[in-house]
Structure formats: C-alpha cells, structure tokens
Homo-oligomer: A and B are copies of this chain.
Amino acid sequence: MSVSDSPASSICMFALHHQSSSSPAGALNPDPSSMSGQMSQMDTGVYGQPMVFPKTPDGRSMEQMMGFEPYSSCLTPSSSERAAQQNQQDFSQFLLPPPASTLRPMGQKRGPSKDSVEYRLRRERNNIAVRKSRDKARRRIQLTQQRALQLQDENHNLQLHIQRLSHEVDSLRHYLSQRHLQAREQDTAGD
C-alpha cells in the first residue's frame, strides 16, 4: 500500500524566463551583490508595494504569463492515474458533450484558475502573507529566546538575593540566641 497510489505526482514545472532570451550579454544581473539573497525561485515579491501586481520590483519580470499552454502533456500523477482509470472505464465523456466536470480543454484560459492573472494575484498575495507570517514567527522565536535569557539572568539575581536574606536571617537568629544566653545568665546570676 503505502507507496502505491500516493505520490507519484509529477508535476511539471516550466520556468519561463522572459528576458533571458532577449537579454543581450549586457547587463543581466543588475545587482548581484544586493542584499537580496533570495531570488532563487521566481517572483520574489515585492513585499509592500501597493501596486497591484506590479511584480518583480527587483527587475525580474514575473511576466504575466498568461499565454502559455504547453503543459497539456504534463499530467500529474495521481490525477493522471485517476484520469486514466476513468478514461478507460468511462471515457465516454469524450464522446459526449462537454463534460463540464472533466479535464480542461487546455484551450487557453480555463476559467478556474491556474496560470491566469487571477491565479498569479492569489499566489502573490499568499507569498506576501507567507513572508509576513514567517517574519512574525522569526520575531516570536527571537523574543522567546531573549525572554529565556532574561529570565535566566533574573533568576540568578533572585538567588543571590535569597542568599543575602538567608544570611541575614541567620545572623539575626544567632544574635538573638546570644542575647537569650546573656539574659539567662543574668537571671541565674541575679537569682
């Protein structure tokens, strides 16, 4: 079981590049050294930037993508498997009218969402949310660590305080016991 159905997912990914192609040898990396060490993947959103989806502030065009339909063949695993079965069993769908529910015509803009502007907007928003959430988590972790250190320090100080107080109590008790002895001596003497 385990592996059987699970995985298999093969998702094809297409990196499209825009510029690269046309870009002359010239200035492709505008600023390699910039602090951004992250542009490995793709969009690297803008973060703040109000602009709708202005995209790639850093220069990379996120391209709209829009067009593109290449991956018709690139099915995915499970879905493909599933689909295959269905096709074999009841692929009558293809014959029938538009099955509405099934595979998308791959025409171009399947209404739902995948590569369309709508999709990209969602993705970009989520990417921003993710970055935000992670920054938050990072800060939280950092605060926790700081708090732990602080508490540790505070703890140490409290222990020192306790030590002092304990000594003081001891001293006072000792002093009192001495007084008691003295008093008793006087009593006996005077007796």
Contact = CB atoms under 8 A, between A and B. Distances in A.
Interface of A: 2-22, 24-25, 27-32, 34, 36, 39-47, 56, 59-63, 65, 68, 70-71, 73-82, 84-85, 88, 99, 101-104, 110, 112-115, 141, 144-145, 147-148, 151-152, 154-155, 158-159, 161-162, 165-166, 168-169, 172-173, 175-176, 179
B56 A10 contact: yes
Contact of A101 (B6, B24, B115): B24
Contacts of A22: 101-104, 112
A17 B45 CA distance: 22
B172 A16 contact: no
B2 A10 contact: no
5 contacts: A3-B61, A7-B36, A7-B60, A8-B46, A22-B112
SS of A interface (majority): loop
A155 B162 contact: no
B9 A46 contact: yes
B56 A21 contact: no
B30 A70 contact: no
A39 B172 contact: no
Given A7-B29, A20-B114, A175-B176, 17 more contacts: A3-B59, A6-B32, A7-B40, A7-B63, A8-B63, A9-B18, A9-B44, A10-B39, A12-B68, A13-B74, A14-B74, A15-B73, A20-B75, A25-B85, A44-B77, A70-B70, A151-B152
B5 A32 contact: yes
A56 B8 CA distance: 11
A12 to B, nearest CB: 5
Contacts of A43: 10-12
Among A22, A47, A75, max chain B CB count under 10 A is at A22
B176 A16 contact: no
